[in-house]
Amino acid sequence: MSFDGRVRFFWALITISTLSFVVYVYAINSTARNIALRQDLEKNIAEISVNLNSLEFAYIELKNNVTIELAYHYGFKEVQNPLYVSRRPISLSLNTLLR
């Protein structure tokens, strides 16, 4: 191998080493940022979960306080002849004019 070939090989190794180091630093930085972001998201999820639990308890408490008198107070009335939706199948067709 000539001197020029060894110099090119040396600089190729230096370039590959430098690029590998840059990629390694980028990967470590990206991993650290993703870990920090995940911890923030988990903290937000915990806060929202606590808020959701308190809202669920408030909903259950309000739901259990509904009485027929309260419904009458808000203007609901008892229906004498209730209407129901039929469950029998409805067939649909496409009407076209034949010429």
Q: What is the per-residue pLDDT across 5-25, written as a single tens digit (0 to 9) for each?
A: 999 999 999 999 999 999 999
Mean pLDDT of the chain: 89
Report if residue 20 sits inside a domain. Answer: yes
Cβ density class 22-37: b for 16+ within 10 Å, e for less: eeeeeeeeeeeeeeee
Give the span between the Cα atoms of 71 and 63, in whole angstroms. 12
Report if residue 79 sits inside a domain. Answer: no
- Domain, as residue range, for 22: 3-73
Domains contained in the chain, number: 1
pLDDT class for 87, splitting at 50, 70, 90? Answer: confident
**pTM score of the predicted model:** 0.51
Q: Where are the alpha helices (DSSP H) in 1-99?
A: 3-64, 68-73
pLDDT class for 81, splitting at 50, 70, 90? Answer: confident
Report if residue 93 sits inside a domain. Answer: no
**Which pair of tokens denotes residue 30?**
């990206």
- Dmax of the chain from CA atoms? 106
Report if residue 84 sits inside a domain. Answer: no
Report if residue 88 sits inside a domain. Answer: no
